[in-house]
Structures are given as structure tokens and as C-alpha cells.
């Protein structure tokens, strides 16, 4: 067999990396009865801004926060000839919110997947639970290392019991003599108590230190050795604050001669020398939420006399006389147990014997055989037939659809224009643009998802539009929070967006009352269609007219106005374009994708090759500029992009991305070319971090979308425009995926 492994890997200083290395060696390097070995390779996860001198079995690396690396890894594994993939999953080693970036990689695998879960959270956040559930859905088998983990998976994450396999945490088969090991470290005359692993406050080492004064008073030969560096995450946020606290505690308790800190990440060989030299091993963790502990498994594996707090894994592993337990934070209880063991050597020997006998059952060669047996079982039962996917659209990577932030921004008047972070900024009031976009989004949400919250919001935005309409059919744009008009006539852009919203509503209104109100406002505005001069106002109006004509194709008057507006755009294109500049103006400014989108949408209705030709020509020109690096880089509003000038990268805004998503969706509708759906999804991923800053604009906590990004970083305000642009794009992606699925069926 040829096996692919995904996880962190040595020499990265990480417990998962050590686990992956041991698992690989126990499965790939073992000789089979036929005299051959299994094959395998590693896809290693790199933490941010670091790289490592990996051994030869590492064939590919993934940079944690680079989504494209995950997709490249999926392709690499699929083309490698591997029979099965094994994923080592731990929160914190994969990119995106709660490690969501691993999902598109797993979704694209064309071979069976086995997942080893190193952490299973009892009270997960919504996103933690969603990510783990998706991983478990895609896995053929899920390996856990404690029975408590099985309980959590079935009761909290609703995983089928038949998918779960219990395989203990492996222990390296490294043997030393205790006295010889003590001699190496000059500890022949010491009773060595040991704790090792990354240092952090949750390890509860102060509990063990506070237990020592009574112990050393009776047994002055005791030395408590604490091996391990401060956890990288702790170091990043708190520095050595915890280690300094522990050292001050040692000094205050006058234990300088009895406590020693070894601030290093020791090699596995060196670590086992210390384990064999120890008399007692202590894990004084502060709470029960530890589903798997590699350090505890190692201690039991070498036959240490283990004393631990009753966290989940310890309760299981130390049962049947393999260790002793004391309560969380109970220094007195630990002190009593330590003195009892040092006073009664026969009890110490019995604990060590029981632990060692169990430890021989979980050495890596035996654990590796269990994994190999599981691999063969997985490959033999119900072989999966993988169907090549039509497009790169991956709905699994989308955050759950939510109207929470839109509800937060909306009152009985309409949607508030701006926000401070995720909180409505009432001082800025309302605008027509955003209420029009909100109407488009809620109509889409109800049509696609039958979302009753969206249905309740539709009349709010529709009534706002009606309230803002002037007697001549034009619209005001701005309204203060106390409902005072702030202008007499809005922009042509806001007019066009409103016609888009009304046309969309009329074409698929959820009830007749909404449809009739929409028609009334639409046709009151219609005398102004041919007066428009702004090309973006024209484009948005064309989109609304096209939506309307999809529902009422027999309206010749609106059809002819649409044709006139389409050729107005074409005239602008012909006047401004050249061989290398295929565009409607002498610059690329804002909402650029709306111009080709409007022509693409009207081309199907008008059945006009010229309209289609200009639509595709301008779309391809825009695509070459904004997608040339494999991800979407929108035209920034800082300086825009003048012909023969330099394009502006910063001040990119979500509405620009939305326009691209809509444009490519319409290009697919017109041509049925799947490549446009791939580009659609590439543009959508801009929201989730595939952009120039490599930062997500979607806020998983508020479910809003940030207003864009500048050279200094993301603008964290989450106004209506940006959040609606995200939601319209989200719904368009789902719509596109559904159309492909229906095509396959």
C-alpha cells in the first residue's frame, strides 16, 4: 500500500509532529511477510512564517494560512498514486477560523480518508462543531484514543458509532535501565519526580510545587524535574510570565535545591532517558478537559509510577492499578500520595510493574499494526467510487448562512447604512442603495432557502424604497435616523440599484402584494430609464429590467428600452477601447463587474450577438487584470486604475467582489462553460482570505463582513453595503453549485 499522511512533522517542535513521525515509521517501515515494506509520504503543516529542514519522506508542505496550498496538496495527493490518506487533526494547526481551510482539501480527495482526532471539545463553539462534523462526514474511519472521545463524538457531534475506531496512543519502544539513566544525569542519589511537555498555565505545575515542602522535609533526596519549553501560543501572547511565576514560587517556598526547570524541547531519545531515570511521574493538570495525553501515555509506557489529576485520559489510562489520582489543585492530596509512595517502595514497584505491563501493549510497532489492519479493512469494505467534480465550487468551505448581522442593522424603517465594528452606527442613518441591496438579498434568501426571517424583512426594505420615491419616479437616497430627508435627488447609481432590486422582486415575489407594490414603484420610475447618463446607473437599471423581463418576456416596451441602454454601453465601449484596453472608460473605477454583468444578463433576453461579444470581451479584459495571480485582486478605490497608469491595490471593497461573482454566474448561464464557475468561486474566496492581504473579511462571530481593506489592514467596520455584498455572493455561489449538481443528475 501507499499511504499519504497530513499533519505537523519533525523537526517541528509539536506533539502532533512527533505522533505523525512515529505513526509513519510504525506503518511504512515495517517489513511485511512478503519481504516488502509499505510506501508512504508526508504532507507537512508549517506554522506561520516558519520553515523546517524536513526529512526526505516529506514531499509537500502547506503554509497554515495559505488556502491555495491546501488545494495544491489535494491535487498532489490525488496524483501521487496513494491508496489512502491519514489526517492528524488538532485544532490550531490548520488555517482559517477553527481550521476550516482543511475542509476543501479533504473534500477534493479522491481516495479514502482516515482521521485521527487528538482533541474533541465537550462544549464546542458553533464553528468548532461545524468543522469537526464536516471532517467526520468525509472520513471513512475516525480514530480516537480514549473511550470518552467515543462518547463525545456520538452524543455531541452525532457521528455514527460504526465509523469510530479506538486505538491507543502509541509509545516508542525505547528501553533504558533506571540506574544507568540516573547515572548519566548524575541523579544516582535522588528520588526523581518528573513532569514534561509544553509549559502553560493549564498544566497546573504550581500544584505539584506547592506539594513539595512536606515531601522534601521527610525525603530531602527528592528532586522535581520539569522538562519543556513554554508553549508557543503562550509565549506569543504572555511571554515567560508563567515560568517566571513558577520560579518565584520555588524561591518563596525555599525549594531551589529540589526543583529544576529544563527549558528545552528534548529529543525523543533523551526524553526517554529521563523517563526511565524517574521514580514518579506527575501530571497535575487543572481541569478534566484533556481527551488525549501523549506525555501520560509515554510515562505509562516506560513503567513510571504515575500520579495524576483525574482528567479524562488519565482516568481511563491509570485504571486497574496503573497509577494514582488526586483532585484538581489539591496540593495536600498530592503531597500525601508522594510521601506514601516514597515511604512504601513496594507500592511504588507495584505501580511501575502494572504500568509497564500495559505499556508493552501500546508500543508503536503494535499500534502501527492496528492502523495497518484498519487501513486494509477500510480499503476492502464498501469501496468508494469517486466522481470527478465538475467545478472547483466547494460549498463546504462557506460559513453557515446567517442573517444575524442584517437583523442587527435593520429596524422598522430600513437597514442602517454604517456600523462601528459590528454595531449599527445610528448617527449615519439610512440610504436607498443599501435598502435596495437588502431587498435583492432577502428575495434571494427566501427563494433559495425559504428563510422566514428573510420573508419578514422584504416588506421593510420595499416600503423604504417606496418612501424614498419622488413624484416624478426618481428617488432620494439619504435619510437620517429621525426620518428626515437629507437630499432631494439621489445618484443615478442608487436609482439603478433600486431598479435592479425591484425587477428582481417582481420576477420572483413570494406573494402578490409584494409583486404589485414592486411593479407600481418600478413603472413609476420607468420614464426615467432613458434619461440616465451614468454607465453604472445604466448597467444596474439594465439588470433590473432583465430580471423583470425574465418573468414578463412579452413586455416589448421594456425590451426596447433595454436594447437602447445596452447599445449605449456598447457605444461607450467602442469609444474608449483599443487593442489592449477593452473597456467602457479610460479607467477601471468601482463596481466594474456590473458593466459586463448587465450586458451578459441582457444578451440572453435580446438574443443579440453584438451585446454578447462586448460582454465577453470586457469581462475577459477585467478578468486578466484582477485574476492574473490566481486569486481575485479587486481594483482599489484609493486611486483606481487609469489607462497606461498603475492600478490601485488598496481600498478594495466587497461590492467589487460581489459584482465579479454575479458577472461570472451570468457568463456561465449564457455559455455553460464551467471555467466561469471556477472563476466565480475564486472571486468569492476573496471574502474568506484569498486576497492581497491574505486576511478574511468575513467575521465568524458577528456574521457580518468587514468594509474592505487598506494598506494597513482590514477595515473592521461592518456596514450594510459590505455585509449585503457578502450575502448576495454567498447565495450566488450556492445557486451556481446547485445548477451544476442538477446538470450532473
Residue with cell 469609444: 575
Q: Are 599 and 666 in contact (CB under 8 A)?
A: no
Q: How confident is the model at residue 266 (pLDDT cuts 50, 70, 90)?
A: confident
Q: Is the pLDDT of residue 383 over 70?
A: no
Report the first-to-last Cα separation within the chain, whole angstroms. Answer: 34
What are the cell numbers at 519? 411593479
Q: Which pLDDT value is given to residue 66?
A: 86
Q: What is the mean pLDDT of residues 589-613?
A: 95
Q: Which pLDDT value is given to residue 171?
A: 93
State which H helix or E strand residue 148 sits in.
Answer: helix 147-155
Q: Which pLDDT value is given to residue 387?
A: 44
Q: Which pLDDT value is given to residue 743?
A: 55
Q: Which residue, 646, 729, 624, 714, is CA-closest to 681?
A: 729
Task: Pinpoint the alpha helices (H) of 578-716.
Answer: 594-606, 609-626, 654-671, 674-684
**What CATH superfamily is the domain 178-361?**
Glycogen Phosphorylase B; (3.40.50.2000)
Cα separation, 128 vs 68, in Å, equals: 22
Name every residue whose Cβ is closer than 8 Å to that of residue 91 and which is 6 or more positions away in sequence: 98, 99, 119, 121, 128
Q: Are 498 and 475 in contact (CB under 8 A)?
A: yes
Task: Write the CATH number of the domain with boundaries 403-531.
Answer: 1.50.10.20
pLDDT tens digit string along 5-19?
A: 999 999 998 889 999
pLDDT tens digit string along 321-348?
A: 999 999 999 999 999 999 999 999 999 9
Q: Is 705 exposed, middle or buried (0-12, 13-18, 19+ CB in 10 A)?
A: buried
What are the cell numbers at 582? 477593452
Q: Which residue, 110, 44, 30, 124, is CA-closest to 77?
A: 110
Q: Which pLDDT value is given to residue 67?
A: 77
* Percent of the chain predicted with pLDDT > 90: 75
Q: How confident is the model at residue 34 (pLDDT cuts 50, 70, 90)?
A: very low
- DSSP assignment, residue 498? H
The answer to which of 302-306, 436-440, 503-507 has the lowest mean pLDDT is: 302-306
The answer to which of 331-345, 349-363, 396-410, 681-695 has the lowest mean pLDDT is: 681-695
Q: How confident is the model at residue 198 (pLDDT cuts 50, 70, 90)?
A: confident
What is the SS3 assignment for 190?
coil
Q: Is 288 exposed, middle or buried (0-12, 13-18, 19+ CB in 10 A)?
A: middle
Computed from CA positions of residues 667, 668, 670, 672, in that sequence, does the dihedral angle turn out positive or negative?
A: positive
Phi and psi of 485, rounded to 5°? Answer: -70, 135
Name every residue whose Cβ is closer than 8 Å to that of residue 621 and which is 6 or more positions away in sequence: 581, 582, 583
Q: Which pLDDT value is given to residue 720?
A: 97
Cα separation, 572 vs 575, in Å, equals: 5
Cα separation, 459 vs 509, in Å, equals: 11
Q: Are 284 and 308 in contact (CB under 8 A)?
A: yes
Residue with cell 497530513: 6
Name every residue whose Cβ is closer than 8 Å to that of residue 6 and which is 6 or more positions away in sequence: 42, 43, 45, 62, 73, 85, 86, 87, 88, 102, 105
Residue with cell 478537559: 289
Q: How confident is the model at residue 36 (pLDDT cuts 50, 70, 90)?
A: low
Residues in the chain: 745
Please count the other Cβ atoms lying within 10 Å of the Cβ belonging to residue 672. Answer: 11
Name every residue whose Cβ is closer than 8 Å to that of residue 709 and which is 6 or more positions away in sequence: 650, 651, 652, 691, 692, 693, 695, 697, 715
What are the cell numbers at 515? 409583486
Q: Are 115 and 89 in contact (CB under 8 A)?
A: yes
Q: Which pLDDT value is given to residue 745?
A: 37
* Percent of the chain predicted with pLDDT > 70: 97
- DSSP assignment, residue 426? G
- DSSP assignment, residue 86? E
Please give the sequence-ordered ranges of beta strands (E in DSSP) within 66-123, or none if there are none: 84-89, 113-117
The pLDDT mean for the chain works out to: 92
Instruction: Tell me if domain 2-170+367-380 and domain 403-531 are identical in fold.
Output: no
Q: Is the pLDDT of residue 721 over 80?
A: yes
Domain extents for the chain? 2-170+367-380, 178-361, 403-531
Q: Is the pLDDT of residue 744 over 50?
A: no
**What CATH superfamily is the domain 2-170+367-380?**
Glycogen Phosphorylase B; (3.40.50.2000)
Q: What is the mean pLDDT of residues 108-114?
A: 94
pLDDT tens digit string along 212-224?
A: 999 999 999 999 9
Q: Which pLDDT value is given to residue 39?
A: 93
Cα separation, 663 vs 424, in Å, equals: 30
Computed from CA positions of residues 517, 522, 524, 525, in that sequence, does the dihedral angle turn out positive or negative?
A: positive
Bridge partner list, 47 = none
What is the SS3 assignment for 217?
helix
Cα separation, 54 vs 52, in Å, equals: 6
Bridge partner list, 597 = none
Record the pTM: 0.64
Please count the other Cβ atoms lying within 10 Å of the Cβ belonging to residue 714. Answer: 16
Amino acid at each position: 500500500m501507499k499511504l499519504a499522511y497530513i499533519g505537523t512533522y519533525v523537526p517541528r517542535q509539536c506533539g502532533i509532529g512527533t505522533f505523525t513521525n512515529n505513526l509513519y515509521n510504525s506503518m511504512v517501515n515495517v517489513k511485511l511477510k512478503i519481504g516488502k515494506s509499505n510506501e508512504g509520504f508526508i504532507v507537512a503543516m508549517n506554522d506561520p512564517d516558519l520553515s523546517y529542514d524536513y526529512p526526505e519522506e516529506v514531499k509537500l508542505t502547506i503554509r497554515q494560512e495559505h488556502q491555495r496550498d491546501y488545494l495544491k496538496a489535494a491535487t498532489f495527493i490525488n496524483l501521487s498514486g496513494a491508496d489512502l490518506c491519514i489526517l492528524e487533526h488538532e485544532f490550531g494547526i490548520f488555517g482559517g477560523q477553527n481550521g476550516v481551510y482543511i475542509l476543501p482539501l479533504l473534500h477534493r480527495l479522491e481516495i479514502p480518508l482516515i482521521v485521527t482526532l487528538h482533541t474533541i471539545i465537550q462544549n464546542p463553539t458553533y464553528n468548532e462543531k461545524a468543522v469537526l462534523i464536516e471532517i467526520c462526514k468525509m472520513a471513512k474511519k475516525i480514530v480516537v484514543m480514549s473511550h470518552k472521545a467515543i462518547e463525545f463524538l456520538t452524543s455531541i457531534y452525532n457521528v455514527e458509532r460504526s465509523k469510530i475506531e479506538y486505538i491507543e496512543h502509541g509509545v516508542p519502544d525505547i528501553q533504558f535501565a533506571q540506574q544507568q539513566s540516573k547515572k548519566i544525569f548524575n541523579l544516582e542519589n535522588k528520588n526523581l519526580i518528573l513532569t514534561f511537555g509544553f509549559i502553560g498555565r493549564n498544566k497546573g505545575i504550581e500544584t505539584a510545587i506547592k506539594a513539595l515542602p512536606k515531601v522534601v522535609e521527610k525525603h530531602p533526596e527528592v528532586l522535581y524535574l520539569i522538562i519543556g519549553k513554554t508553549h508557543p501560543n503562550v509565549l506569543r501572547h504572555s511571554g515567560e510570565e508563567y515560568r517566571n511565576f513558577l520560579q518565584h514560587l520555588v524561591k518563596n517556598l525555599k525549594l531551589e535545591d529540589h526543583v529544576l526547570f529544563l527549558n528545552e524541547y528534548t529529543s525523543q531519545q533523551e526524553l526517554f532517558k529521563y523517563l526511565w531515570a524517574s521514580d514518579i511521574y506527575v501530571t497535575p493538570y487543572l481541569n478534566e478537559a484533556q481527551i488525549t495525553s501523549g506525555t501520560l501515555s509515554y510515562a505509562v509506557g516506560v513503567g513510571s509510577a504515575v500520579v495524576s489529576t483525574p482528567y479524562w485520559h488519565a482516568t481511563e489510562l491509570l485504571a486497574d492499578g496503573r497509577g494514582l489520582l488526586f483532585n484538581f489543585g489539591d496540593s495536600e492530596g498530592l503531597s500525601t500520595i508522594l510521601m506514601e509512595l516514597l515511604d512504601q517502595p513496594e507500592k511504588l514497584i507495584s505501580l511501575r510493574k502494572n504500568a509497564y505491563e500495559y505499556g508493552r501493549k501500546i508500543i508503536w510497532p503494535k499500534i502501527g499494526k492496528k492502523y495497518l489492519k484498519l487501513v486494509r479493512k477500510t480499503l476492502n469494505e464498501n469501496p468508494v467510487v469517486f466522481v470527478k467534480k465538475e467545478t472547483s465550487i466547494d460549498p463546504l468551505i462557506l460559513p453557515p448562512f446567517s442573517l444575524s448581522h442584517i437583523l442587527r442593522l435593520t429596524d422598522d424603517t430600513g437597514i442602517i447604512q454604517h456600523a462601528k465594528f459590528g454595531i449599527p452606527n445610528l448617527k449615519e442613518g439610512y440610504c436607498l442603495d443599501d435598502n435596495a441591496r437588502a431587498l435583492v438579498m432577502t428575495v434571494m434568501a427566501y427563494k433559495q432557502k425559504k428563510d422566514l426571517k428573510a420573508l419578514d424583512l422584504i416588506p421593510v426594505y420595499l416600503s423604504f424604497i417606496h418612501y424614498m420615491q419622488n413624484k416624478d419616479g426618481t428617488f432620494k437616497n439619504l435619510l437620517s435616523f429621525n426620518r428626515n430627508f437629507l437630499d432631494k435627488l439621489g445618484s443615478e447609481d442608487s436609482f439603478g440599484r433600486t431598479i435592479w432590486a425591484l425587477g428582481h422582486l417582481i420576477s420572483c415575489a413570494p406573494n402578490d402584494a409584494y409583486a404589485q407594490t414592486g411593479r407600481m414603484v418600478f413603472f413609476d420610475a420607468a420614464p426615467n430609464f432613458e434619461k440616465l447618463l451614468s454607465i453604472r446607473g445604466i448597467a444596474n437599471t439594465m439588470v433590473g429590467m432583465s430580471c423583470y423581463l425574465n418573468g414578463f418576456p412579452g413586455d416589448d416596451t421594456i425590451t426596447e428600452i433595454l436594447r437602447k441602454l445596452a447599445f449605449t454601453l456598447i457605444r461607450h465601449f467602442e469609444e474608449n477601447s483599443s487593442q489592449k484596453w477593452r473597456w467602457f472608460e479610460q479607467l477601471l473605477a468601482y463596481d466594474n463587474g456590473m458593466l459586463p454583468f448587465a450586458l451578459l444578463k441582457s444578451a440572453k433576453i435580446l438574443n443579440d450577438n453584438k451585446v454578447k461579444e462586448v460582454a465577453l470581451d470586457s469581462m475577459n479584459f477585467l478578468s486578466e487584470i484582477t485574476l492574473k495571480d490566481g486569486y481575485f485582486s479587486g481594483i482599489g478605490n484609493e486611486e483606481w486604475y487609469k489607462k497606461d497608469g498603475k492600478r490601485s491595490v488598496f481600498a478594495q471593497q466587497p461590492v467589487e467582489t460581489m459584482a465579479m461573482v454575479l458577472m461570472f454566474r451570468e457568463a456561465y448561464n449564457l455559455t455553460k462553460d464551467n471555467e466561469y464557475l471556477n472563476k466565480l468561486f475564486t472571486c468569492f474566496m476573496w471574502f474568506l482570505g484569498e486576497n492581497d492581504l491574505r486576511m478574511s473579511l468575513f467575521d465568524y462571530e458577528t456574521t457580518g463582513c468587514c468594509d474592505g481593506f487598506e494598506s494597513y489592514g482590514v477595515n473592521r467596520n461592518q456596514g450594510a453595503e459590505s455585509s449585503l455584498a457578502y450575502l448576495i455572493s454567498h447565495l450566488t455561489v450556492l445557486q451556481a453549485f446547485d445548477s451544476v449538481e442538477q446538470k450532473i443528475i
